[in-house]
Amino acid sequence: HCLQFSSLLLFCFGLCSSWWGGVQMGPPDPILGVTEAFKRDTNPKKMNLGVGAYRDDQGKPFVLSCVRKAEALIASKQLDKEYLPIGGLGEFTKACAQLALGNDSEVLKSSRNITVQTISGTGSLRIGANFLSRFHGGPRDVYLPKPSWGNHTPIFRDAGMQLKAYRYYDPSTCGFDFKGALEDISKIPEQSVILLHACAHNPTGVDPRPEQWKEIADIVKKRNLLVFFDMAYQGFASGDIDRDAWAVRYFIEQGHNIVLSQSFAKNMGLYGERVGGFTVVCKDAEEAKRVESQLKILIRPIYSNPPMNGARIASTILSTPDLRSLWLEEVHGMANRIIKMREQLAAGLKKNGSSHNWQHVIDQIGMFCFTGLKPEQVERIIKEYSVYMTKDGRISMAGVSSGNVGYLAEAIHAVTK
Amino acid sequence: MSVFSDVPQAPPVAVFKLTADFREDSHPQKVNLGVGAYRTDDCQPWVLPVVKKVERLIVEDESLNHEYLPILGLPEFRSASSKVALGDDSAAIKDNRVGGVQALGGTGALRIGAEFLRRWYNGVNNTATPVYVSAPTWENHNAVFADAGFKDIRPYHYWDAAKRGLDFTGFQDDLEKAPEHSIFVLHACAHNPTGTDPTQEEWKKIAEIMKRRNLFVFFDSAYQGFASGSLDKDAWAIRFFVSEGFELFVAQSFSKNFGLYNERVGNLTVVAQDSENLTRILSQMEKIVRTTWSNPPSQGARIVSKTLNCPELFAEWYAANVKTMADRVLLMRDQLKSKLQALGTPGTWDHITQQIGMFSFTGLNPKQVEFMIKEKHVYLMASGRINMCGLTSKNIDYVAQSIHDAVTTIQ
């Protein structure tokens, strides 16, 4: 009769319930939650420092002039809307690789890279993760810095990889735990994958210095690790595209055949157009062709081929001399504004009489700053000052302007004194 | 020693290889009947006039920026898309149990839907649930579901080569024999590659069996409007199934009916039992999207959304542009059949006008296809599938003659 009972259950199930009764409610996105709460707040002095998109000094989204000019140029060309190749717009992938590797790159000269257009940085990381999952013969472990961008873990996990970590951020200094990183990396099993943030580490803003990168490259080579660089902020970090790509180029020069994700969301302000690239540096051109063929096989059942608009804009900017110069100026401008806000914030904290060391605010680089605020302090600053940030004390410097940096300094001082 | 020394060379994707070969061919009379994109009578790609208009509006609108869209996409786009599929007066939409996930083309919508089903359908992470795709089907269906994790992808009878039509008996048989809860991928209209759709009566029978056997309905809708020229007619099957109370998915593509191939505009319409279920489903869809592409591209969705949500633009799109495309395809079908009949080409050619949409399954066998390509420089898929859009008033005589020669020379 057990069989009859369960059949009856199934019968009722089929009649009156949904397929989806067992679908759990997904957890709310922590960063979205910050923005939601910010929107509800009526305090006129409120600040949203969760936002991961650049804002100008008036707190507004910034569309780069070079982008508007490129768009006008493109519109005048009356191009068709035919499918792109699976690997994307050729002019874009070429320019994308050149930007990262440098015009004189031996890799480019020997055609031993394959670069495909991807759906911004996320899409690039996912394609890379899928590729490694399918073809990397080494351990399935990907080593992330502690902490790393929140989305790295689920991306690699969904691709079938496993996640481990190496020490990175030192909360006692709000800086780089160089010793800890080297120790941990030296113990990573051979052929594992190690993910490195090329510049402007997210979420801490803490980057290794060049001498430190050299030692990291050395030990990574000794351990025979596969390097996965995530470069989402080239140009946006220091204001100089070559300087920001230094680590990537150094590793390649040292003989590491890296894989690399690039995003143009921040440095060209093309967030919603989803412009990115994924590169595999191979042994030679023949291997690059084989790898390319497999990347296509991976891409086709996800989205067939990538979107044109953003790639066309990026490609136009990179290959039109006037627009490229304008872009370099504008990206320099964005980086400078951030750097200025860092300086003003640190100065403001000092002025308020803070006894703490805020040097890390200036030393850290890129869009984000790990303030060092503890969870209780974060709770207080949100509640009492309407300054919204994520629980880990991370603030987006993009949300800071000359109009509100003074208030921010007051608020941080108030909850930390 | 490279980590990638053992990576094998993958075979090229057939349909793109065909176009590549066509491009390299220098024969003056070459014809490309391969890849599925619309062509004008001059054999040129066609950017819809309404699309040009809307793109200008977008470029000139200084208030627009390039900020991230929400994870699930542009809200106005999602709602307008689902409305196009389900109809303006959809009771399901009024009941707040319909949601959309903006995706990268129809492919993206299928993949997100497949990933969701693998995680949450028929248990949790049940990779053993059978997925049925038609025999034949769009060649990418298999890989979409396989890469989403499904281990058991099976064909259901569909094309009857002997009678050049639907094998409805075989189809029903497979529905009856499929394990309960199996997923069936159904082409909403203009079946790719055969161009052969079930009749309304046949759809009703399919629905009856699927309901009785608890099978999951996943519609692939890539040609709404493009097939017959009528949005309502091309969505009849979808709307019928919704009215019968099915919880279902519809992967929509706007590549063909808006000619927006390279902007990757698609939508996964989710019809749930009630709004509470829908909320939970969409929350999990967000998680899947977040690790795939984070949020979808803006441009194409803006174009479609502006057009669908503005009555004048909608009218221009539907009554003028879509009609132009559908009418030209119908004309080519008509003329190809007439010419083959006039030539006295052996066999029956009624299927050319009975079939619907972009594609026609000619019935040519692989040897005849090879002849067409090598001897006649007329490029078509090995399956005998031709893209009607590749036919023009200037090449149709040559193509008809080539088919005639293939059929009479090669067995």
For residue A299, what is the enclosing H or E element? helix A285-303
Type of residue found at B171: F
Residue of B3, B107, B264 with shortest CB distance to A137: B3
The pLDDT mean for chain B works out to: 95
CB proximity list for B267: less than 8 A, separation 6 or greater:
B73, B77, B78, B81, B82, B100, B101, B102, B103, B109, B252, B254
User: What is the pLDDT, as a whole number, of residue B15?
Assistant: 81
- Nearest one of A159, A173, A274 to A228, comparing CA atoms: A159
Q: Is B41 among the residues known to form the active site?
A: no
- pLDDT at position B64 is 95
- Under 8 Å CB pairs connecting chains A and B tally to 229
In this structure, are strands B131-135 and B183-187 parallel, antiparallel, or unpaired? parallel
B292 close contact with A: CB closer than 8 A: yes
A260 φ, ψ to 5°? -140, 130
Q: How far apart are CA B338 and CA B322, in angstroms?
A: 25
Min Cα distance B134 → chain A (Å) is 17
User: Residue B2: how many CA atoms within 13 Å on its side-chain side?
Assistant: 20
Q: Is A255 on the interface with B (CB under 8 A)?
A: no
Annotate A76-92 with DSSP letters as a single string.
HH----PPPPTT--HHH
Cβ atoms of residues B184 and B178 within 8 Å: yes
From the candidates B3, B53, B97, B292, which should be mutated to test the interface with A, based on the most A CB atoms within 10 A? B3
Instruction: Please name the residue that has the structure tokens 């961008």.
Output: A149
Residue A18 and residue B8: Cβ atoms within 8 Å?
Answer: no
Q: What 3-state class would DSSP assign to B166? A: strand
Task: With cut-offs at 50, 70 and 90, classify the pLDDT of residue B17.
Answer: confident
3-state SS of A385-415?
A: HCEECCCCCEEEHHHCCCCCHHHHHHHHHHH
* Distance between CA atoms of residues B291 and B62, nearest Å: 32
Residue A82 contacts B where some CB pair is shorter than 8 Å: yes
Q: Residue A82 has which token pair?
A: 């035919």
Token reading at A345: 């914030």
Nearest 5°: the CA angle B188, B190, B194 is 120
Segment B107-118 mean pLDDT: 98
Which pLDDT score is estimated for A12? 44
In the predicted model, what is the mean pLDDT of residues B217-226?
97
Q: Which amino acid is at B35?
A: V
Q: Model's pTM, two decimal places?
A: 0.95
Label residue A82 exposed, middle or buried (CB < 10 Å: 0-12, 13-18, 19+): middle
Q: Are the beta carbons of A23 and B120 separated by less than 8 Å?
A: yes
Angle between helices A321-351 and A65-77 in degrees, nearest 10: 160
- Residues B379/B33, Cβ–Cβ less than 8 Å: yes
**With an 8 Å Cβ cutoff, are A301 and B147 in contact?**
yes
The reported pLDDT for the residue numbered A32 is: 67
* H or E stretch covering B386: strand B385-387
Residue whose pair of structure tokens reads 């594609």 in the numeric block:
B359
Helix, strand or coil for residue A164?
strand
The complex scores an ipTM of: 0.95
pLDDT value at residue A23: 76
- Å between A114 CA and nearest CA of chain B: 13
Which of chain A's residues have a Cβ under 8 Å away from the Cβ of B46? 80
Taking the CA of residue A378 and the nearest CA in chain B, the distance in Å comes to 26
Residues of A in contact with B149 (CB under 8 A): none
Q: What is the pLDDT of residue B1?
A: 57
All residues of chain B having their beta carbon less than 8 Å from the beta carbon of residue A18 are 247, 272-274, 277
- Contact by Cβ (8 Å): A295, A116: yes
Per-residue tokens: A108: 């480019």
Mean pLDDT, rounded, for B165-170 = 97
Report residues of chain A scoring pLDDT below 50: 1-16
CA dist., res. A178 & res. A168, Å (int): 7
- For chain B, positions 319-378, list CB contacts with chain A under 8 A: none
Residue B205's CB: how many other CB atoms inside 10 A? 16
Q: Minimal Cα distance from B107: which residue of A?
A: A303
Helices (H) and strands (E) in chain A, counts: 17, 13
Hey, are the CB atoms on B264 and A305 less than 8 Å from each other? yes
Q: For this structure, is B349 an active site residue?
A: no
Would you tell me how many other CB atoms lie within 10 Å of the CB of residue A90? 14
Q: Which of B138, B159, B203, B317 is catalytic?
A: B138
B6 confidence band (pLDDT: 50, 70, 90):
confident
Q: Which of residues 87 through 146 in chain A touch B, CB cutoff 8 A?
A: 119-123, 126, 135-138
pLDDT of residue A246: 98
pLDDT in tens, B121-163: 999 999 999 999 999 999 999 999 999 999 999 999 999 988 8
- Report yes or no: B231 and B245 within 8 Å, Cβ to Cβ: no
Higher-confidence residue of A3 and B180: namely B180
Query: Looking at chain B, how many residues does it have?
Result: 411
Could B277 and A21 be called an inter-chain contact, meaning their C-beta atoms sit closer than 8 Å?
Answer: yes
Indicate if the pLDDT at residue B191 is higher than 50: yes
In the set B256, B306, B337, B339, the catalytic residue is B256
Tokens read off for B62: 């200084």
- Sequence letter at residue A128: G
